[in-house]
Amino acid sequence: MAQNSHAHKEIVSVRVVDFPQEDVFELFSNPNKLVNWWGPNGFTNTFKTFEFRKWGKWSFIMHGPDGKDFPNEWIFVEIAPGKRIVADHLDKPQFRAEFEFEQLESRKTRIVFRMVFPTVELYNSVKSYAPEKNEENFDRLENELLVL
């Protein structure tokens, strides 16, 4: 059996939502909607650049509930409309984000969010909090889907 080369450097979060695949993808690809839900609980965003295309840039400031600002620079590596988004997070912590969207039934979509880190050390530095924060992000996504 082949071993996953990322097994000790990745965090995988999965959520099934009761919404069609095209609606879910819309919330990831439309900056006017993404700005409302991206990030853990209590965080807000100010988007500067959102070029949703291969090699396009996504630049924003994430504002923490404590008032601290977190600059974020991303590059979109792959976009398969409705199905997959791959982007590299260039700021610390650096990682590759892979989002996959799979239609399960007429109104259910499975979202797989995979964070692949370049080193085991970097993975180890975030594994204690990232899965919980990803779940908060999914919760916020579902709340935003309710107001579509």
Q: Which of 108, 95, 84 is CA-nearest to residue 28?
A: 84
Is the pLDDT score of 2 beyond 50?
Answer: no
Helix segments in the chain, DSSP class H: 21-29, 31-37, 120-126, 130-146
Q: Which tokens hold the place of 75? A: 């590059």
In a domain, 1, yes or no: no
- Tell me the angle at which helices 21-29 and 130-146 cross, rounded to the nearest 10 degrees: 110
In a domain, 34, yes or no: yes
Q: Distance (Å, rounded) from C-alpha 114 to C-alpha 53?
A: 20
- CATH, residue 99: 3.30.530.20
For 9-39, what is each residue's pLDDT tens digit?
Answer: 999 999 999 999 999 999 999 999 999 999 9
∠ CA 104-21-128, rounded to 5°:
85
In a domain, 3, yes or no: no
In a domain, 128, yes or no: yes
Total number of domains constituting the chain: 1
In a domain, 2, yes or no: no
For residue 141, give its domain range: 10-146
For 103-131, what is each residue's pLDDT tens digit?
Answer: 998 899 999 999 999 999 999 999 999 99
In a domain, 5, yes or no: no
| Cβ neighbours of 117 (radius 10 Å) | 23
